[in-house]
Chains A and B, each alone.
Chain A
Amino acid sequence: GENVEQHPSTLSVQEGDSAVIKCTYSDSASNYFPWYKQELGKRPQLIIDIRSNVGEKKDQRIAVTLNKTAKHFSLHITETQPEDSAVYFCAAKDGAVGFKTIFGAGTRLFVKA
């Protein structure tokens, strides 16, 4: 089955700097890669996703890139703000058939004002 590795586990940046979180996946048949933001004590919320037929997707200060050959994908947050502080999870849909989504272990992002 699918396995998702996420790095780093903790990331601290200065307000205004960029933050990059990287994930790798194992199943070459996976074709959907969502990213979730989870604030303390709250539910995970989808912030951006990408499908395997696209190499990059951007939504304001957030972008995601996908390298299918290397089986890795990354989240980029530019002009970080204190409210970006949260745990971010990458995920991959397990295979081309079925809809089990496998999550990474998470990255705790601290944005220092």
Chain B
Amino acid sequence: GAGVSQTPSNKVTEKGKYVELRCDPISGHTALYWYRQSLGQGPEFLIYFQGTGAADDSGLPNDRFFAVRPEGSVSTLKIQRTERGDSAMYLCASSLIVGGEAFFGQGTRLTVV
């Protein structure tokens, strides 16, 4: 596609529910990154993929968070038992090569009520 696409753009969920956030990277980009951005803060690294494998998941805050990229393209960030503190903008980015210029999607704004 022309750019990184994230769906949904907005998600409101109840505390305790499960959510999935989707990221479609730029076609051909091998690296994919997930970040979380709270209001007034910089993006906080969560995880990045090189191809299908999670190369570094050290930013995932706890075991309620999980991400997959089964075919090396689309990625899904999964959050179980959501908490109000999970409310944030979730940003995905991709780069042609790992470490290259990263292009961000518009993000998914998650609100847990």
Chain A residues near B (Cβ < 8 Å): 1, 4, 6, 32, 34, 36, 42-46, 49, 89, 91, 93-94, 98-106
Contacts and interface: CB of A to CB of B under 8 A. Distances in A.
A32 B99 contact: yes
Interface of B: 31, 33, 35, 40-45, 48, 50, 55-56, 58-59, 91, 98-99, 101-107
B91 A89 contact: no
Given A49-B101, A93-B99, A103-B44, A44 B58 contact: no
18 contacts: A42-B106, A43-B107, A91-B42, A93-B99, A98-B56, A99-B31, A99-B55, A99-B56, A100-B56, A101-B45, A102-B45, A103-B43, A104-B42, A105-B40, A105-B41, A105-B42, A106-B41, A106-B42
B94 to A, nearest CB: 12
User: Interface residues of A: mostly helix, strand, loop or mixed?
Assistant: strand
B104 A101 contact: no
B104 A103 contact: no
